[in-house]
Amino acid sequence: MKLKICGMKLNTAEVAQLRPDYLGFIFWEHSSRFFEGEIPELPLTINKVGVFVNAELEYIIETTIKYQLQGLQLHGHETPDYCAEIASELKKLNHKVELIKVFSIKEEFDFDVLKLYENVCDYFLFDTKGKLPGGNGYTFDWSVLKNYPSTKPYFLSGGIGPNNLDKINEFRKTTESKYCFAIDINSKFEITPGLKNIDELQNFKESL
């Protein structure tokens, strides 16, 4: 199972030394983890993912090229047509990205909404529904995923922390985990927003 560490901001180089599969950088200005500045040179094995929330197409394209992002995580109300347009515009620039479309879950979820995104996204990401588009710090009921109707790989997100390892290991034994491609972690591994706890991240990664 892959690991994505999101909300990178203050100690990116240190986190990168742990060699996660993905590092997420938030490009939504209302977030306390909003990323500005330069991304340090990263190992080639790490994919840089930009996180956007209902962003203008031009901003997504410019940011993707500027930071040479390999993935785009769309955390708002982006339509299937908009997802396809992003991929099309970047293709014209000879820049291929993986598109990750986020869906928020609380107690239940209508999986029918995924159908229109099947052909325009590479992955889905399931997060916890809360006041903010992400980073709310608590998990949803993963058993909802028993009804997952797709074969598209997905990221599991939403308040996952150091104390969830047993829960993750139990989840991996279930049929609903079959297409779980990666675990996405963020706020539960922070000292302050954007400053990650390296020791906790290392312990989690080694135990995953």
Helix (H) or strand (E) holding 97: none
The label of the residue with tokens 């996405």 reads 184
Q: What is the C-alpha end-to-end distance of the chain, expressed in Å?
A: 8
Question: Per the structure, how many domains does the chain have?
Answer: 1
Q: Is 175 helix (H, G, I), strand (E, B) or coil?
A: helix
Structure tokens that stand for 60 in this block:
């997504």
Q: Which whole-number Å values give the CA distances from 90 to 55, 64, 81, 87, 189, in the listed order?
A: 15, 9, 14, 5, 33
pLDDT for 137: 60
200 closest CA partner among 14, 48, 1:
14
Domain CATH for 180: 3.20.20.70
pLDDT at 208: 86
The reported pLDDT for the residue numbered 108 is: 82
Inter-residue contact 182 to 155 (CB < 8 Å): yes
Q: Tokens for 53, please give them.
A: 């929330």
Model pLDDT for residues 90-126, shown as the tens digit of each residue? 999 999 999 999 999 987 889 999 999 999 999 999 9
Tokens matching residue 77: 């109300």
What pLDDT is attached to residue 107?
A: 76
Q: How confident is the model at residue 188 (pLDDT cuts 50, 70, 90)?
A: very high
For the whole model, what pTM was predicted?
Answer: 0.94
Asked if 52 and 28 count as a contact pair (C-beta separation under 8 A), the reply is yes
Domain that holds residue 33: 2-207
